Amino acid sequence: MTAEVPEVTDEDFGAEVLGADLPVLVEFTADWCPPCRQMAPVLRALAAEEGERLRVVQLNVDRNPETTNHYKVLSMPTFMVFRGGEPVKAMVGARPKRRLLEELSDVL
């Protein structure tokens, strides 16, 4: 089972991510980024499996420079977990789902 991973923008980042009840995993991504494309099925599976405990979204860095610059994202993909409106964890680079779940275990 897989779930779609919605895209957030500079305009709705505050409401969708910072104002969310659940922790939110944001993938800062770009269309030109092969490792980002590699992560797409992993993120869909994660969203489907952990949807009760974690919201998964993507933010395109090229179309949303304000948020990208605010969080000083320089490499793609960068994953940030937000809880209660604050970033609580950041990870850079593609990784297998098992490793991603291990790294998220302390924030779920």
Q: Hey, which residues are catalytic here?
A: 33, 36
Sequence-distant (6+) residues with CB within 8 A of 98 are none
Pairing of strands 24-29, 55-60: parallel
- Interatomic CA distance for residues 80 and 82, integer angstroms: 6
Q: How many Cα atoms sit within 13 Å of 61 on the Cβ side?
A: 21
Pairing of strands 24-29, 78-83: antiparallel
